Amino acid sequence: MKNIWHDKSGETTGPDKIAAMLSRRSHNPIEKMRRNLRMELLIMIVMVGGVAIYYFIAFKSEYSIIGWAYALLLVLFGYYFFRKNRLLREMQCSSCRIKSNLELQLRMLERYVRFYLLSGTAIVPILFIFLGIVLYHKKPALISKTILYPSSTNPVWKFLLAWLILLIVSTAIIWVLNRGYVNKLYGRHIEKLKQLVLQLSE
């Protein structure tokens, strides 16, 4: 077998072609995920930051509390992106031994998926609180006479209970949807990595 293997000389790639490859982008899935994450962060900064600045300046700063709520949302998103980016950065070690690299990938991907699921679900109560602040201050006609807004005919406990029920139901639905989505996105990757680690350990 060794003789057959060594007898055959392979194809060759010239130095110019190799040098040209160095300036190209990596197609590695993790690198792609990091690039997408940076783009998402940029979009969030521009959009949420823009709205926050608008509420700080417009309406003679009457609604600056909404501006602060948006700013807080941006900080939370900032943490979310920072954590995801760190997990992705630590996910691979190409120059490590194959076994430790695959084990690392599996461990970090499972952690990443857990964080994805948790943060994707936690966003619901955060958005509810955020929406509550906005609606309370803007008092839109659409809901000001419903159970979702406190008034003389709608006591606070009823209003709170209505929001709580809405929050629990929404969070549960989002959690189920998120779990399915995350499984669809990363389930096969995780299974493949588990298989590879098993092959190495057998």
Partner 1 sequence: MTQEEFVREVQINQGIIQKICRLYCQTQPDREDLFQEIVVQLWKGLPKFQGQSKFTTWIYRVALNTAISDFRKKKRAIPIAVAEVALLEGRNESSQDESEEQFNTLYVAINHLPEIDKAIVMLYLEDKSYEEMEDILGINTNNLRVKMTRIKDKLRQLTKSISHGT
- The values of phi and psi at residue 148, to 5°, are -85, 5
12 secondary structure, DSSP code: -
145 binds partner 1 (CB under 8 A): no
How far CA 157 is from CA of 141, 148, 154, 162, in Å, comes to 21, 11, 8, 9
Rounded to 5°, the CA angle 94-96-101 comes to 75
To partner 1, the closest distance from the beta carbon of 34 in angstroms equals 12
Stretch that binds partner 1, among 47-55, 70-78, 99-107, 143-151 (CB under 8 A): 99-107
89 binds partner 1 (CB under 8 A): no
Instruction: Please identify which residue in 59, 67, 94, 122 interacts with partner 1, judged by CB under 8 A.
Output: 94
The CB-side HSE value for 132 (13 A sphere, CA atoms) comes to 15
Query: Is the Cβ of residue 104 or residue 122 nearer to partner 1 in the bound state?
Result: 104
N-term to C-term CA, the chain: 25
For 193, other C-beta atoms within 10 Å of its C-beta total 19
92 binds partner 1 (CB under 8 A): yes
Segment 3 to 62, residues that bind partner 1, using CB under 8 A: 4-15, 18-19, 21-22, 24-29
Stretch that binds partner 1, among 1-9, 39-47, 65-73, 139-147 (CB under 8 A): 1-9
Please name the amino acid found at residue 32.
K
Q: In 139-155, which ranges are continuous DSSP H helix?
A: 141-144
141 binds partner 1 (CB under 8 A): no
Query: Is the Cβ of residue 101 or residue 170 nearer to partner 1 in the bound state?
Result: 101
Could you list the residues that contact partner 1 (CB under 8 A)?
1-2, 4-15, 18-19, 21-22, 24-29, 92-102, 105, 188-189, 192-193, 196, 199-200, 202
